Amino acid sequence: MFSLYKKEVQSYFCSPFAFVISALFLFVFSLSFISGISNMDSSVMKFSFSNIFYNGFFYFIFMIPLLTMRTFAEERKSKTETLWLSAPITVPQVVFAKFLAVATVFLLMMVLSLFFPLVVQLKGNVIVSSLICGYLGFFLWSLVCIAVGMMMSALTDNPIIAAVLGEASMILLVFLDNFTTTDLVQSVPVLSKVLTWFSTEVRFGAFSQGLFSLADLVFFISLTLVVLVWTVIVIEKRRWSRG
């Protein structure tokens, strides 16, 4: 399993792929940073890094499908999946290794963005605990997105379609929160309650405010696991129904 993980991480850096996406990530991040500091309230001179993620995650979720779109779709297209299907490794192990690899690449991108807090630290004051909390929240949230993106990649053999499906489902996930507040849903209290359980935005919002709660941590991790298990089922199902 470790070999597969290593190979997956390497393959992102074999091509300019990971570098281009990291560049895009940093580009979006720095733009948000600049607009954040230039719009600072001059009386308090306070600025939240977590807000960059919170306000800009609409941009960031477009990057995760780009990272995950190739995971399974490409393998099916080029028929390389027979390699791990015929090797002594189980499908859950493959899914988990690939998931860890994408998470690692994404983590590296986030580490690169730490450059901005470091610069700020030189001239000002950074509240480290709040920063960590914001980063952790964003990372947990992106783990869910990575799992969803991988599942979409397992559904099709075309990476572009996988990316589009991934983006669509992530947008749905983001707007689930807005959806629960509509009159239509509010009129059915049970539905609204159930949907609120699954909405990620509130929980992410709490993290970005610097509020760490174990319940939210468990929520994100279990949601990720559920989607990963689903991915395994999708792959197994494909194997059974068609070659």
Partner 1 sequence: MNTVLRIQPVRVSRLTVLRVTGGQETKGAYIYMVEIQNLTKYYGLHPAVQDISFTVGDHEVLGFLGPNGAGKSTTMNMITGCLPSTSGTVLVDGYDIAKDPMEVKKRIGYLPEIPPVYPEMRVRDYLTFAAGLKKVPSSERKKQVENAMERLRITDVQRRIIGNLSKGYRQRVGFAQALLGNPKFLILDEPTVGLDPTQVMEVRSLIQDLAREHTIIFSTHILAEVTAVCQRVVIINKGKIRAVDTIANLQRSTGDDLRLKLKVEGDMTKVSAIIGDVPGIKAIEEVTVESAGVNAFTVAIESEDVRKPLMTALISADCMVLEITAVQASLEDAFVKITGSGKQSREEAFEELGREMDAQREAEEAAKAEATDAANGKEDKD
Residues that bind partner 1 (CB under 8 A): 2-4, 6-7, 10-11, 14-15, 78-90, 239-240, 242-243
- The shares of helix, strand and coil residues in the chain, as percent rounded to the nearest 5, are 80, 0, 20
Residue 14 or 119 having the CB closest to partner 1: 14
Number of H helices, E strands in the chain: 14, 0
State the first-to-last Cα distance of the chain, in angstroms, to the nearest integer: 24
Cα separation of 92 and 236, whole Å? 10
Say if residues 195 and 176 touch (Cβ distance below 8 Å): yes
- Annotate 59-72 with b (16+ C-beta within 10 A) or e (fewer): bbbbbbbbbbbbbb
Beta carbons within 8 Å of 3's beta carbon, 6+ residues apart: none
Cα separation of 32 and 161, whole Å? 29
| Min separation Cβ 17 and partner 1, Å | 9
| Min separation Cβ 100 and partner 1, Å | 15
Check residue 127 and give left, alpha or beta (phi > 0: left; psi -120 to 50: alpha).
Answer: beta
Residue 97 or 170 having the CB closest to partner 1: 97
Residue 7 or 193 having the CB closest to partner 1: 7
Instruction: Look at residue 197 and give its three-state secondary structure.
Output: helix
| Min separation Cβ 241 and partner 1, Å | 8
Beta carbons within 8 Å of 19's beta carbon, 6+ residues apart: 13
Residue 14 or 202 having the CB closest to partner 1: 14
Residue 143 or 234 having the CB closest to partner 1: 234
| Min separation Cβ 98 and partner 1, Å | 13
Residue 12 or 54 having the CB closest to partner 1: 12
Residue 46 or 237 having the CB closest to partner 1: 237
| Min separation Cβ 137 and partner 1, Å | 33
Structure tokens at 215: 């319940």
| Min separation Cβ 238 and partner 1, Å | 10
| Min separation Cβ 150 and partner 1, Å | 18
